[in-house]
């Protein structure tokens, strides 16, 4: 059969497709924009009916589709989340019912390590994901969600795809062929949309400091949120920037539109903006669709520190929750609970540090909870996401400090200078 015939033979409804998912099995779910809403709703219906139980779901960064279906409170237990990165979905569940925390299993893992975990350690029974429409050669694109999802789709025994014409078709290293798919569900719905609001005054001050550290020819990695977007708005006059980032956003696309990004100086994939997953709005997804200037790769490639470092002048910008007086960062734990995860922060800190001319920047507002709590602290409240040995620059609205080559006392003095003035005396007394 040709690709079209194979497609037609495997096309079915979501409810029929998920009958292949067994109880007491391991399933990977597409990440973020890659969540397949129709398939997840069908899985939830099976769990509600009692025909599916003890389904271990492996994923990062859950969104509204999973939150309104398989991750509903009443289904926890039959559905057993194996969460590698907590989002607002899990935080809301735990806030509404603290007992839910015991039913959400958090798995510490670097983002770059998630493909190996799913490929080599779990023996995945199934993978469900959203994909772009099939091309003339029978290949689906992972679009906005290559990350770990592409690796899971290539190693799971059962693969169910949800074909959505709204998913952009983006070139990638390992597309998924229709012959590798167990079942196909069609669902034309808008993709999840994520806006970029104006930053706070503190964010704008931090962005101004960071922008001064980005020169022509830099290769950028930016995290998520208002702060990276504010940085991007301030560097639209740069030239010959490159993009090698785990997350691609509308703010980074704006740098392409402005002419700031050419990607011509990159060593890896010159002429292309490389990313692992993308989150944005409908115009952004349209820009991605069929765009030869963008290229997606699995996260174990994009976030590999040695791969990052092959490019010169890498500038990595990430956020943290707390910084201790020696420079160690907690970027994942808050209020006595897991808040997010390590993600790819350390991957890019190390990759940028190993890059010729590279700069690693970790940023945070100096305070939290309406200015009542200092983010510069004597001791972290949670795990060390980025060790003090690896930290390069720390930036708050009060300034920027290069910690490389500094003694412990020198680091403490620099970091106290980045704290809110009302906390500086107290911090200094601890020296």
Distance CA 31, CA 62 (A): 7
| 278 closest CA partner among 142, 166, 390 | 142
- Strand ranges in 246-287 using DSSP code E only, listed in sequence order: 247-248, 273-275, 277-278
What is the pLDDT, as a whole number, of residue 290?
A: 97
Residue 121: strand, helix, or coil: helix
- The fold of 201-429 is Glutaconate Coenzyme A-transferase (3.40.1080)
Give the pLDDT band of residue 96 (cuts 50, 70, 90). very high
402-410 average pLDDT score: 98
Helix (H), strand (E) at residue 13: none
Give the pLDDT band of residue 199 (cuts 50, 70, 90). confident
Edge to edge, what strands does the sheet with 393-396 contain?
A: 242-243, 219-222, 314-319, 359-363, 393-396, 399-402
3-186 and 201-429 have identical folds: yes
Domains of the chain, by residue range, sit at 3-186, 201-429
45-63 average pLDDT score: 98
Give the pLDDT band of residue 226 (cuts 50, 70, 90). confident
352-376 average pLDDT score: 97
> 123 — phi, psi (to 5°)?
60, 70
Residue 320 predicted with pLDDT over 90: yes
- The pLDDT tens digits of the residues spanning 8-40 come to 999 999 999 999 999 999 999 999 999 999 999
Distance CA 369, CA 397 (A): 16
- The pLDDT tens digits of the residues spanning 130-158 come to 999 999 999 999 999 999 999 999 999 99
Distance CA 398, CA 234 (A): 18
Q: For a pLDDT cut of 70, what percent of the chain falls above it?
A: 100
Distance CA 191, CA 402 (A): 40
291-323 core/surface letters (b: 16 or more CB in 10 A; e: else): bebbbbbbbbbbbbbebbbbbbbbbbbbbbbbb
| 26 closest CA partner among 1, 56, 50 | 56
Give the pLDDT band of residue 376 (cuts 50, 70, 90). very high
Residue 198 predicted with pLDDT over 80: no
CA angle 380, 384, 387 (to 5 degrees): 115
Give the pLDDT band of residue 385 (cuts 50, 70, 90). very high
Task: Point out which residues pair with 275 in neighbouring strands.
Answer: 296
The DSSP bridge pattern shows strands 376-377 and 322-324 to be parallel
Total Cβ atoms within 10 A of residue 408? 12
Distance CA 133, CA 290 (A): 12
Catalytic residue among 246, 307, 332, 397: 246
Distance CA 289, CA 311 (A): 26
Token representation of residue 257: 């539109």
Distance CA 289, CA 237 (A): 26
74-98 average pLDDT score: 97
203-211 average pLDDT score: 97
Mean model confidence pLDDT for the chain: 97
**Which has the higher per-residue pLDDT, 115 or 196?**
115
Distance CA 130, CA 123 (A): 21
Residue 363: strand, helix, or coil: strand
For the question of residue 90 being annotated catalytic, the response is no
What is the pLDDT, as a whole number, of residue 195?
A: 82
- Strand ranges in 287-413 using DSSP code E only, listed in sequence order: 294-296, 314-319, 322-324, 329-330, 333-334, 337-338, 359-363, 367-368, 373-374, 376-377, 393-396, 399-402
Residue 76 predicted with pLDDT over 80: yes
Q: Which CATH architecture has domain 3-186?
A: 3-Layer(aba) Sandwich (3.40)
Distance CA 320, CA 63 (A): 21
DSSP-derived secondary structure for 323-354: EETTS-EE-SEETTEE-S--TTHHHHHHHHHH
Distance CA 179, CA 3 (A): 8
- The pLDDT tens digits of the residues spanning 272-304 come to 999 999 999 999 999 999 999 999 999 999 999
- Name 360's Cβ contacts closer than 8 Å, sequence gap at least 6: 316, 348, 349, 350, 352, 353, 390, 391, 392, 393
What is the pLDDT, as a whole number, of residue 67?
A: 98
């Amino acid at each position: 059969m040709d690709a079209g015939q194979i497609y037609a033979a495997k096309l079915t409804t979501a409810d029929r497709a998920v009958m292949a998912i067994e109880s007491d099995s391991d399933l990977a779910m597409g990440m973020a924009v890659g969540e397949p809403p129709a398939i997840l709703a069908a899985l939830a219906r099976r769990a509600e009916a009692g025909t599916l139980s003890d389904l271990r779901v492996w994923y990062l960064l859950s969104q509204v589709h999973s939150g309104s279906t398989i991750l509903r409170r009443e289904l926890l237990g039959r559905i057993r989340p194996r969460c590698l990165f907590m989002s607002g979905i899990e935080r809301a569940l735990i806030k509404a019912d603290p007992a839910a925390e015991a039913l959400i299993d958090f798995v510490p893992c670097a983002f770059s390590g998630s493909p190996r975990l799913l490929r080599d350690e779990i023996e995945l029974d199934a993978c469900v994901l959203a994909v772009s429409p099939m091309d003339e050669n029978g290949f689906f694109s992972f679009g906005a969600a290559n990350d770990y999802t592409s690796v899971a789709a290539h190693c799971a025994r059962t693969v169910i795809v949800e074909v959505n014409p709204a998913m952009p078709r983006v070139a990638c290293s390992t597309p998924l062929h229709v012959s590798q798919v167990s079942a196909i569900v069609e669902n034309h719905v808008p993709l999840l949309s994520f806006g970029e609001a104006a930053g706070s005054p503190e964010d704008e001050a931090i962005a101004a400091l960071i922008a001064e550290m980005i020169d022509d020819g830099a290769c950028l990695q930016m995290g998520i949120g208002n702060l990276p977007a504010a940085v991007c708005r301030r560097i639209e006059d740069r030239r010959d920037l490159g993009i090698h980032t785990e997350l691609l956003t509308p703010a980074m696309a704006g740098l392409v539109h402005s002419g700031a990004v050419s990607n011509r100086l990159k060593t890896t994939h010159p002429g292309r903006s490389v990313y692992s997953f993308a989150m944005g709005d409908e115009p952004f997804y349209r820009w991605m669709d069929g765009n030869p200037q963008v290229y997606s790769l699995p996260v174990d490639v994009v976030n590999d520190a040695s791969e990052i470092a092959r490019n010169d002048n890498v500038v990595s910008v990430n956020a943290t929750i707390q910084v201790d007086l020696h420079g160690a960062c907690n970027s994942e734990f808050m209020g006595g609970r897991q808040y997010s995860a390590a993600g790819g922060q350390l991957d890019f800190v190390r990759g940028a540090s190993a890059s010729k001319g590279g700069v690693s920047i970790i940023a945070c507002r100096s305070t939290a909870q309406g200015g009542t709590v200092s983010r510069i602290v004597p001791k972290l409240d949670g795990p060390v996401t980025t060790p003090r040995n690896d930290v390069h620059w720390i930036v708050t609205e009060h300034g920027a400090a290069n910690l490389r080559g500094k003694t412990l006392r020198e680091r403490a003095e620099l970091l106290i200078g980045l704290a809110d003035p009302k906390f500086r005396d107290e911090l200094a007394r601890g020296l």
